[in-house]
Amino acid sequence: MPPYLSDIYRFRGFILGSVKREFTSRYRNSMLGAAWLVLQPLAQILVYTLIFANVMSARLPGVDSTFGYSIFLCAGVLTWGLFSEIVGRSQSMFIDNANLLKKLSFPRIILPIIVVLSACLGFSIIFGLFTVFLIASDSFPGWVYLALAPILLVHIVFAVGLGLNIGVLNVFFRDVGQFFGIVLQFWFWLTPIIYPLSTLPDWGQELIMWNPMTLIILAYQGILVRGELPQWQQLAPVFMVGLLLCAVGLQLFRKRAGEMVDEL
């Protein structure tokens, strides 16, 4: 078994315990508890729906469903939330766990695993409720729903690869984390989450298609809004970029792991 996989297996109890402890502690002292996990993205979706669907009379071409725009928003906002949480928390995961890294001896590679599992746990709850809504509103896309699994794999691999690189760099150059927080805000609006891609001029569509998250979000929206299978040939380069980022991040982490504790 490769060393990294062996470390993950040996510390599986620590990983699962950390995910459980982090999830429960996040809502321990709030009256509504884990309900905030649903209320926060729901409030965001309602605001966007009110502004863009009603005030601005936004419409989706070729979609006549009453809930078409709401499903379009959920497909983008919820999945973007998973990406931003993985990348956002990865950029500070070593800094946030500085005391743990200094006092305990454990494979540091399990920290990204904890971040990913925690993010996926929250996402699975929200997306599960969204799936119930699709069924209740008679908007469930059918068997093509199963195609979400490989898209989710591409999504997570890309987010982990990017987050791991930024997380290591942020230990040595703290401006990286601050700068990337700004990048994420611009990145959100440069991805067709709130607006359909077809509303942009041709040159804008061509430019935004270079955005890896555009291809991922469009794949989610195609399945959930129109019941269409994604264009796998477009997702393949994103997957390859994600694997490359993971390989570079692991190599960077391996070379700098010994220096990270001193820097922290």
Report the candidate in 155, 126, 143, 159 with the shortest Cα–Cα distance to residue 220.
155
**pLDDT digits 0-9 by tens, 104-126:** 666 777 888 888 998 998 888 88
Q: Quick one: CA dihedral 154, 88, 121, 94, positive or negative? A: positive
**pLDDT digits 0-9 by tens, 112-166:** 888 899 899 888 888 888 888 888 888 899 999 999 999 999 999 999 999 999 9
* Tokens at 131, concatenated: 């799936």
Average pLDDT, the chain: 83
225 close to 60: Cβ distance less than 8 angstroms = yes
* Tokens at 185, concatenated: 């805000």
**pLDDT digits 0-9 by tens, 167-213:** 888 888 888 888 888 999 999 999 999 888 888 889 999 999 999 99
Cα-Cα-Cα-Cα torsion 156, 90, 250, 239, nearest 10 degrees, comes to: 20
Residue 50 clears pLDDT 80, i.e. is over it: no
User: CA 230 to CA 216: how far, in whole Å?
Assistant: 9
> In terms of pTM, does the model score above 0.75?
yes
